[in-house]
Amino acid sequence: MKKIGILGGTFNPPHIGHLIIANEVRHALGLDEVRLMPTATPPHKASTDDVTTVQRLRMVELAIDGIDGLKVSPFELERGGVSYTYDSMKVLTEQDPMAQFFFIIGGDMIDALPTWYRIDDLVKLVQFVGVNRPGYKGLSEYPVELLDTPQVYLSSSMIRQRFTEGKTVQFLMPKSVEVYIRQEGLYESD
């Protein structure tokens, strides 16, 4: 049976924190692959129209280029609409019934699991894998396999702010992603 990790998010932009989590979980659990799956419209975050779905997908492609075992999945972007994890995982498990899916979430999402759409049905489809995130307890009544991974206090919003203010993002994201952001003029102040 193939073991597939799913790491969802807006990836606006992707950064080394995402890559560390995906890589650490893949190796800790012996997963065949981890798919980074950008959301179309996240149900729990305000939508930002400053970056297109095509640009977010391209940034993830650049971020994982050459990293063994990491793949990009355009699944939710192609479906469009609000990206509810239950809906996506229902389709993915039906498409690949011989795979075991591990849905990777940070401490902030672990704390929020009771509010997730159809959470009681979702836990029957996937094994949740939780990673610590600074500032969150990471506790849940739902079954979550907790992994101890290196913690990096980093967020996409922090990186966007740095671009807006003209500050450095060196070492916070792959250079290829930084170059792309600068070429596209993303996150610049008006």
Assign residue 83 a region (left: φ > 0; alpha: ψ between -120 and 50; beta: otherwise): beta
- The domain made up of 2-153 is a member of CATH 3.40.50.620: yes
Is the CA virtual torsion 146, 123, 22, 39 positive or negative? negative
pLDDT digits (tens, 9 = 90+) for 10-69: 999 999 999 999 999 999 999 999 999 999 887 766 555 689 999 999 999 999 999 999
**What ranges do the domains of the chain cover?**
2-153
- What's the whole-model pTM score? 0.93
